[in-house]
Amino acid sequence: MKIAVNHLARIEGHANLVIDSVRGTVRELRLEIVEAPRFFEPMLTGRHYSDVAHIAARICGICSNSHTLVSLQATEQALGIEVSEQTQSLRRLLAFGEILQSHLVQLFFMALPDYYGEASILPLVHTERALVQHALELKKLANDILRVVGGRPVHPVTPVVGGFARLPEAADLQELRRRLVRVLPDLEASVEIFGSLDYPDFERDTDCFSLRGGDDYPLFGRQLVSSGGVDCAVEDYRDVLEEYLVPWSTAKFARLQGRCFMVGPLARLRNNFDLLSPMARQVAEALGLTPDTANPYRILAARLVEVVHGVERAIHLIDELLLAGLQAEEPLPPQRHGRAVAVIEAPRGLLFHSYSYDAQGRIEQADCLIPTAQNLANIEADLRARVPELLETGREELTRQCEQLIRAYDPCISCSTHLLTIDFA
């Protein structure tokens, strides 16, 4: 039996799935990434530090805030610029806003139709109107967090090297807080929806790679850990991570100490379960998630737990900002030049930016490592383990569950296609 799913639906970008099996054995399985390479690093090379974050944001239309924030942090560390506590809090609020925005789109608009037997969310407008209305209201709130703090929902304009070009109005933050508090009870409906889904019964343990939070569930950090025993500083990421090419992908694949691995919501949750907010931990337990959960279909549930955590933390951050009072700050100039590595827990997982700057404040060398590229080999490994279990179910059911599995990772294909050379021979 040969199955070819061209242009997988409800993921960002273009990818194909090819499965070839003979007498119950999978002979070939490929997750083909067919987007054109986009050459991120050469575009950044030679650019002045004041331009870099705005260019880096264009790598992605979904994770543009994460690319902006990690780019700013890498630049500031390389140039010896220390930002204020106020700037750090506003950036964390922006990061939570993007996690909410991205997770809600994936949960309700990309993944949920699979479990209702629909090709998209549009038929649910008629059959599950309250659910769709609920999803749209949550998504609008996330957009408004990004608009108030970052200047607009996509490709933020207010975060700059050393701080913010414009601060949010206190009244706007107060309004966001009011809406976030109001939405908390509504999230119970989301928990009921995703708690009632019939997740396929499949487990494959893998190495879960993430930041390890100090006293909070991680967004930014300096220490990388994995469930398989990796424990290293962010600066040493290239000592444990290796990118490599495969003939069927224009995106690089990645290994962690020679093995495929997982990044993203479930990996973060497994490595930082004890650091979830109280309500998020209750939701995790209600959804059957533990630090040992190894069912990749349940990445959806982990994503919802992070939505709850993000809402709670956003409320607390706004409280802290309003209590301290927003103060206008003048961004500091560079103090030195050199190399630095920064990482953020973007919605889909670890996002690395590494820059070297010359004395004129221009990038000499850039390296960007994208979450989806880190997950691609693990998705293929999951599929190789899952497909033999589904061969007897028939072509249609096998295809449906394989697509479900891929969508659970929420791959962002456009972000991941940035290799420099590839041999198609």
What are the pLDDT digits (tens) for 278-293?
999 999 999 999 999 9
Identify the pLDDT of residue 421: 39
232 is in an annotated binding site: no
Q: How confident is the model at residue 418 (pLDDT cuts 50, 70, 90)?
A: low
424 has a pLDDT exceeding 90: no
- Cβ atoms of 277 and 251 within 8 Å: the answer is no
Read off the pLDDT of each residue in 197-221 and give the average, rounded to a whole number: 94
* SS3 (DSSP) at 103: helix
Which residues lie below 8 Å from residue 54, measured CB to CB, with a gap of 6+? 68, 155, 157
Please determine, for residue 36, whether its predicted confidence score (pLDDT) is greater than 80. no
Q: Evaluate if residue 417 carries a pLDDT over 70.
A: no
For residue 12, the model assigns a pLDDT of: 75
Residues 357-384: tens digit of each pLDDT: 999 999 999 999 999 999 999 999 999 9
Q: Is residue 121 part of a domain?
A: yes
CATH number, residue 185: 1.10.645.10
Q: What is the mean pLDDT of residues 88-100?
A: 97
- Helices 129-150 and 170-195 pack at an angle, to 10 degrees, of 150
pLDDT 10s digits, 55-72: 999 988 889 999 999 999
Residue whose pair of structure tokens reads 């991941």 in the numeric block: 416
The annotation status of 208 as a binding-site residue, yes or no, is no
Contact 154, 57 (CB under 8 A): no
- What token pair was written down for 424? 């198609």
> Is residue 418 a known part of a binding site?
yes
SS3 state of residue 256:
strand
Please, are residues 380 and 29 in contact by the beta-carbon 8 Å criterion? yes
Average pLDDT in the chain: 92
Kindly state the average pLDDT of the residues 264-288: 96
Closest C-alpha to 91, from 164, 172, 142: 164
Identify whether 87 is part of a domain: yes
SS3 content of the chain, % helix, strand, coil (to 5): 50, 20, 30
Q: Tell me what pLDDT residue 318 has.
A: 98
pLDDT on residue 185: 83
Q: Is 415 annotated as a binding residue?
A: yes
pLDDT band at 414 (very low <50, low <70, confident <90, very high): low
What pLDDT, on a 0 to 100 scale, did the predictor assign at position 18?
87
Q: Compute the distance between CA of residue 50 and CA of residue 154 in angstroms, rounded to an integer.
A: 19
Q: What whole-number distance in Å separates Cα of residue 407 and Cα of residue 400?
A: 11
Contact 250, 419 (CB under 8 A): yes
Quick check: 175 pLDDT over 90?
Answer: yes
Q: What are phi and psi of 373, to 5 degrees?
A: -60, -35
Does 1 score more than 80 pLDDT?
A: no
Closest to 12 (Cα-Cα) out of 348, 336, 419, 361: 348
Is position 425 within any domain?
A: no
Task: Report which of residues 355 and 130 the model is more confident about.
Answer: 355
Domain with 320, as residue range(s), is 2-409
Residue range 105-125: average pLDDT? 92
Packing angle of the helix pair 371-390, 395-408 (nearest 10 deg):
150
At 394 the pLDDT is 87
Report yes or no on 424 lying in a domain: no
Q: Distance of alpha carbon 123 from its chain centroid, rounded?
A: 27
Sign for the CA dihedral angle at 343, 224, 413, 110 comes to negative
Higher-confidence position of 7 and 372: 372
> What is the largest distance, in Å, between two alpha-carbon atoms of the chain?
69
CB 365 within 8 A of CB 109: no
Which residue bears the tokens 């996690």? 99
Residue 107 lies in a domain: yes
Is residue 162 predicted with pLDDT exceeding 50? yes
Is the residue at 423 inside a domain?
Answer: no
Do residues 376 and 399 make contact, with C-beta atoms less than 8 angstroms apart?
no
What is the number of structural domains in the chain?
1
The torsion defined by the Cα of 413, 416, 422 and 425, in degrees rounded to 10, comes to: -30
The pTM is what? 0.93
Mean pLDDT of the region 218-222:
94
Q: Is 231 helix (H, G, I), strand (E, B) or coil?
A: strand
- For residue 32, being part of any structural domain is answered with yes
d(CA 280, CA 339): 37
Beta strands in 325-396 (DSSP E): 339-346, 349-357, 363-369
Q: Is the pLDDT of residue 236 over 60?
A: yes
Residue 42 within a domain: yes
